[in-house]
Amino acid sequence: MTVKSLSVFDEYDNDFLYCEAIIKKHSKNFHTAFSQLPKDKARAVYAVYAFCRRADDAVDEKQDPLLIEAMKKRLEEMQKQVSDDTIDLPQAVKEEDPDEAIWRALTLSFQQFDLQFQPFFDLLVGQKQDLDFQQPTSEKELSDYSYYVAGSVGLMLLPILSQAAAAIQEPAIKLGEAMQRTNILRDIGEDLRMGRIYLPQTVLAQYNLSREALAAGNQNPQFIEMWEHEAQLAETLYQESFVMMPQIDEDCREALLAAALIYREILTVIRKNNYQVFAEKTAVPKQRKIQLLFTAKKMLRQERWEG
């Protein structure tokens, strides 16, 4: 696939800056990694992230299914315009909803990078599942859910990061699932306070852990064993996702590998913090992120994917 000239992005620089501000606020890990991309690829990633963030906010903050439905309709309109090549993007006006910037930036990203619409619709399906939340009964149910809310994001980003996107969809989905499972293991306490448990019922039963035991916030041996069991699944998915790196565009490999390493590091930090996942959200220290950027560079030089 030949990427078109990206000079048009400069005409909407403020829109992309708006999207970048969203990723900087909500995911310093991703911003640290993806800011290493070439400028216009980074801009497109920021636009995709901003869309995902607003879908997440519609559920977690506003709990409004109408917002998800409105996003779906807006996507459908955009799909028709992109398909018919009838897009006419106005510049920003003072009175508009600030989030119009996201839609302009996203539309440009679809035009320039041939993004696929289905993963965006799939993400909204996952957000609807959160509105009518049901605890997963099995690992398969958790994997299915993880595809909709995270594996789909891997598919959204692939055309930006690789000209061989169609050949590496499975490892991209695995990376998304690995990151989602990391989120779940990091946010157990926060999710409990929202009335949600994403850990599968069968797994909790296997380790004799009840909702009440989790709510008590005790890092007892059963909890640690269960947590490590789930962490190993996530780490395996990270490792399996790395097989796509040779088919990622050369100017994107470092950023994507760094994103994976930094996110995986959350699991290591949780271990160092004695599995404290019930109070404050675990964060990877800034200095460690910088070290992992250099680790990614070294792995790429050595063509070694088992970091």
Contact partners, residue 274, CB within 8 Å, separation at least 6: 219
Average pLDDT over residues 89-115: 85
The 10 Å Cβ neighbour count of residue 130 is 21
pLDDT tens, position by position, 192-220: 999 999 999 999 999 999 999 999 998 99
Q: Where are the domains of the chain?
A: 11-87+95-130, 133-307
Q: Is the pLDDT of residue 94 over 70?
A: no
Specify the CATH class of 11-87+95-130 in words. mainly alpha
Query: Radius of gyration over alpha carbons of the chain, in Å?
Result: 19
pLDDT tens, position by position, 5-33: 446 899 999 999 999 999 999 999 999 99
CA–CA gap between residue 219 and residue 188 (Å, rounded): 12
CA–CA gap between residue 199 and residue 145 (Å, rounded): 12
CB-based contact 262:32 (threshold 8 Å): yes
Q: Do domains 11-87+95-130 and 133-307 have the same CATH topology?
A: yes
CB-based contact 198:181 (threshold 8 Å): no
The 10 Å Cβ neighbour count of residue 10 is 11
- The residue written with tokens 């695995």 in the block is 174
Across the chain, mean pLDDT equals 93
CA–CA gap between residue 214 and residue 204 (Å, rounded): 10
Least confident interval from 93-102, 158-167, 239-248 = 93-102
CB-based contact 124:68 (threshold 8 Å): yes
Q: Is the pLDDT of residue 122 over 90?
A: yes
Contact partners, residue 253, CB within 8 Å, separation at least 6: 245, 300
Distance of CA 190 to the CA centre of its chain: 18
Whole-model pTM?
0.93
CATH superfamily of the 133-307 domain: Farnesyl Diphosphate Synthase (1.10.600.10)
Residue 128's nearest CA partner among 196, 60, 199 is 60
pLDDT at 1: 47
CB-based contact 29:259 (threshold 8 Å): yes
CB-based contact 214:188 (threshold 8 Å): yes
pLDDT at 8: 83
Average pLDDT over residues 89-96: 65
pLDDT tens, position by position, 33-80: 999 999 999 999 999 999 999 999 999 888 889 999 999 999 999 999
Residue 57 burial (C-beta neighbours within 10 Å; 0-12, 13-18, 19+): middle
Q: Is the pLDDT of residue 138 over 90?
A: yes
Report angle CA 24, 185, 142 to the nearest 5 degrees.
105
More confident residue, 87 or 274: 274
Least confident interval from 86-95, 152-161, 261-270, 280-289 = 86-95
| pLDDT bucket at 268, cuts 50 / 70 / 90 | very high
CB-based contact 150:119 (threshold 8 Å): no
